[in-house]
A and B are shown apart, each in its own frame.
Chain A
Amino acid sequence: MKIIYHCFGGSHSSVLAAALHLDLIDKKKIPGISEMMSIPYFDKTTKADFGSIRLMGVDEYHNEIYVLGKKNLGSRYGKILMGIAEILGVKEDLLTVDCMSRVNWSMKIGGFTSRRMGWSRLGRPVLGKGTEAAFLDLVNLVEITRIKAMKRVQVV
């Protein structure tokens, strides 16, 4: 199965969720900004990455985990992707996960300042605080996703 975590920039919440899914970071310990920065793609994407589906890794059940930045297109983008999979006859092979519901204002402001304005020194501390506050919500989202993925595998 392919699992796509998506958020505004494909740079923070979706990357962190994918990293949690892949056990690249410990879900029981809130990471600091330096640990977050060691995650591939975290706070490193550019405008050119919008719309690109990027592979983060493969989990223990052989699910491929991807991240995607979709700007402000909301949950609609996930539906579009599922619709494409459906007409190709592989709907059961795809799971899309919108991370925006777990994103707080600090993450939005910090992420915007760091990635869009290019002021990473100013944006990263705000982003770090926001991400720490949202961490357990993202852990919860990943756990729900893992259960959904397992159920799909069982159904198939």
Chain B
Amino acid sequence: MKIIFLGTTGVQHALIAAHIYLGQLRERDFASLESYCNLSKESSALPIFIGKDERGNQVFSLGVGKDLEMGQKTIDNLVSILGFSSQDLILRPVSIKGEILLVYLTKIPRFLGGQWINHFFSNIILGQELSTIKENIEQFRN
């Protein structure tokens, strides 16, 4: 089975959620996570493989843009059209305050210091919303 943590971006809150689910996050040390704020991975729009859980399920993070609900609906439709079900792929939306701002942060060009600005503000927003992400994962586990 595949588990996809779905966010407005795939390299910030959804990525952190996936790492928390896999027990790979040291307290607030986001920068050590592979692919964190990685703009080239984000622009590829592909699911980012994070690892496997204890049951062997493959865990991914994915960013679908500003409209998370619409993204979830489309992927649900697609999975069904392709002949799969929730037994094959589970989508877990991860929604936090400031999630739209995170999308805009990934759009700032590198030559304007986009990478630095992205890291700086993402660390602040995600640090404040970490408890919300952890609660989401707890609910998902239960």
Contact = CB atoms under 8 A, between A and B. Distances in A.
Contacts of A87: 2, 47, 58, 60, 89
A71 B67 contact: yes
Contact of A80 (B58, B62, B77): B62
A88 B47 contact: no
A90 B89 CA distance: 13
Contacts of A118: none
Size bracket of the B interface: 20 to 34
B74 A70 contact: yes
Chain B at the A interface: mostly helix, strand, loop or mixed? mixed
B46 A86 contact: yes
Given A88-B84, A93-B82, A51 B45 contact: no
Nearest to B91: A84
Given A86-B46, A88-B88, A80 B82 contact: no
Size bracket of the A interface: 20 to 34
Contact of A76 (B45, B75, B88): B45
B65 interface: yes
A68 interface: yes
Given A51-B71, A71-B70, A73-B65, A83 B81 contact: no
A74 to B, nearest CB: 9
Interface in B49-90: 58, 60, 62, 64-67, 69-71, 73-75, 77-79, 81-84, 88-89
Given A76-B65, A85-B82, A53 B46 contact: no
Chain A at the B interface: mostly helix, strand, loop or mixed? mixed
A153 interface: no
Nearest to A94: B82
B115 to A, nearest CB: 20
Interface string B9-29: 000000000000000000000
A79 interface: yes
B2 A88 contact: yes
B81 A53 contact: yes
Nearest to B70: A51
Contacts of B65: 73, 76-77
A115 B45 CA distance: 29
Contacts of B71: 51, 80
B45 A83 contact: yes
Interface string B84-108: 1000110000000000000000000
B46 A83 contact: yes
Interface of A: 2, 50-53, 64, 66, 68, 70-71, 73, 76-77, 79-81, 83-88, 90, 93-94
Q: What 5 A-B pairs come out closest when comparing CB atoms?
A: A51-B70, A79-B45, A83-B46, A51-B73, A53-B77
